[in-house]
Amino acid sequence: MEKIYSDNPNKCKLATASQETVNFLMSYSKSLQIIECDNIQFENNLN
C-alpha cells in the first residue's frame, strides 16, 4: 500500500527576533556616530 509521507508535519521551528530587539537596533544605529580624526576612528554614542 502506498505510504503517505505527508502525514509527518514539518518539525522545523522558525524563530524571529522580537520587535523590541529591532527597535533597540534602530535606536542604537541612530545614536552611533563614527568620527575620524588623524586616521583614527572614534565611536560616539549620542543618547
Partner 1 sequence: MELQKDDSVLVKDYINGNEKALEILINRHNQRISSFIYSKVLDRDVTEDIFQDTFIKVIRTLKKGSYSEEGKFLPWVMRIAHNLVIDHFRRNKRMPKFEGSEDFNIFSVIGDDKLNVEKQLIKDQIDSDLNSLIDELPEDQKEVLLMRIYKDMSFKEISENTGVSINTALGRMRYALINLRKIIEKNNIVLTN
Coarse DSSP helix, strand, coil percentages of the chain, rounded to the nearest 5 percent: 35, 25, 40
CB of 8 or CB of 18, closer to partner 1: 18
40 forms bridges with which residues in the sheet?
37
Nearer to partner 1, 6 or 16 (CB): 16
Comparison of 6 and 18: residue with beta carbon closer to partner 1: 18
- Residues at the site binding partner 1, with contacts judged by CB under 8 A: 12-18, 21-22, 24-26, 28-30, 32-34, 41, 43
> Which regions of the chain does DSSP assign to beta strands (E)?
32-37, 40-45
